[in-house]
């Protein structure tokens, strides 16, 4: 036993054992106590160490030295669809909460005021097309200003793409200002155009258009959408496709993305 303890304390012994393929385990209280008692230390075999090293080397050769780790594949359509539905439900709840905090006005008074405005425009312009254009321009002016109130009170952050922007418009913006639920349908393949379906439109309350009139009574909503999106650098084309007042079964507004604008400095601020 004394000879074994002296050999264990001989200089260079650990180096010789590593050269022969032995590796000591990490020290612990039990290993220290075993060493004090003169018991042999725990060792892992050379074959086990070589197997672990070869497996690591094989993994590196399979993906190439210096190549990044493989990324996860895209989520399947079913997962993406479920995530989109969860996002829509979350936005709908957010719209309900904001609508509960917004100051309200009487719905009939609001519809009557807007109706008086449309009647005045019809009297001022002989051409119905000019009336539709004027309503859209008025809505555009409102949209460029109402976007500030929406961003300040809704707490909605930046949207990842145009599809998410339309979801926010349908589930939060319309609920926040008009108190109506809006659905999204008829997406194109590029996700750059969709339809906003309004089962109810508070502007159409107690309104009946004379037959043969091509008046877009609620065309101001198209202008509001176009003006608000232009303030966040999204140039869109927005127009009515279906209108209950014109005999359709529902109200449908088509929103098409034309381009994503870039922030540019005015000429007077550029260095000569």
Task: Convert the pLDDT of each residue in 76-127 to its tens digit.
Answer: 444 444 445 557 677 777 777 776 777 778 888 889 999 999 999 999 998 8
Residue 31 has pLDDT above 70, yes or no: no
Q: Which pLDDT value is given to residue 18?
A: 46
- pTM (two decimals): 0.65
Question: What single string gives the DSSP state of each residue in 16-28?
Answer: HHHHTT-EEPPP-
The answer to whether the CB of 201 falls within 8 A of the CB of 244 is yes
Residue 149 has pLDDT above 70, yes or no: yes
Mean pLDDT score, 199-219: 87
216: nearest Cα among 234, 226, 230, 203: 203
Average pLDDT, the chain: 76
Q: 53-67, 115-129, 141-155, 219-233 — which is least confidently predicted?
A: 53-67
pLDDT, tens digit, for every residue of 171-204?
899 988 988 889 999 999 999 999 999 988 989 8
Q: Which pLDDT value is given to residue 28?
A: 42
Q: Which two tokens stand for residue 46?
A: 């050379």
Mean pLDDT score, 24-45: 46
Residue 245, φ and ψ in degrees, nearest 5: -65, -20
Q: Which pLDDT value is given to residue 105?
A: 81
The pLDDT-based confidence of 29 (bands split at 50, 70, 90) is very low
Residue 53 has pLDDT above 80, yes or no: no
Q: Which pLDDT value is given to residue 225?
A: 96
Residue 68 has pLDDT above 60, yes or no: no
Residue 99, φ and ψ in degrees, nearest 5: -60, -35
Beta strands in 18-120 (DSSP E): 23-24, 43-44
Q: Which pLDDT value is given to residue 1?
A: 60
Q: Which pLDDT value is given to residue 188?
A: 93
All residues at 6 or more sequence positions from 23 whose CB lies less than 8 Å from its CB, including other chains = 43, 44, 49
Q: Which pLDDT value is given to residue 155?
A: 80
Helix (H) or strand (E) holding 234, with range, is strand 234-242
């Amino acid at each position: 036993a004394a000879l074994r303890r002296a050999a264990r304390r001989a200089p260079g012994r650990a180096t010789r054992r590593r050269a022969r393929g032995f590796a000591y385990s990490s020290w612990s209280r039990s290993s220290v106590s075993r060493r004090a008692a003169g018991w042999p230390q725990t060792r892992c075999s050379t074959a086990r160490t070589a197997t672990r090293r070869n497996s690591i080397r094989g993994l590196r050769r399979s993906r190439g030295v210096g190549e990044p780790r493989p990324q996860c594949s895209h989520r399947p359509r079913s997962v993406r669809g479920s995530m989109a539905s969860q996002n829509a439900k979350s936005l709908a709840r957010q719209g309900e909460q904001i609508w509960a905090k917004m100051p309200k006005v009487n719905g009939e008074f609001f519809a009557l005021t807007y109706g008086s405005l449309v009647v005045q425009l019809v009297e001022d312009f002989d051409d119905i097309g000019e009336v539709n254009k004027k309503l859209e321009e008025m809505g555009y002016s409102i949209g460029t200003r109402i976007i500030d109130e929406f961003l300040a009170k809704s707490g909605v952050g930046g949207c990842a793409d145009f599809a998410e922007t339309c979801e926010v418009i349908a589930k939060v913006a319309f609920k926040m200002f008009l108190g109506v639920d809006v659905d999204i349908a008829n997406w194109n393949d590029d996700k750059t155009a969709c339809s906003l379906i309004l089962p109810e439109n508070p502007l159409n309350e107690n309104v009946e258009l004379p037959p043969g009139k091509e008046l877009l009574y609620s065309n101001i909503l198209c202008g509001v959408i176009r003006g608000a999106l232009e303030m966040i650098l999204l140039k869109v084309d927005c127009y009515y496709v279906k209108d209950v007042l014109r005999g359709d079964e529902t109200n449908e507004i088509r929103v098409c993305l034309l381009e994503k604008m870039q922030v540019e400095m005015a000429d007077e601020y550029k260095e000569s």
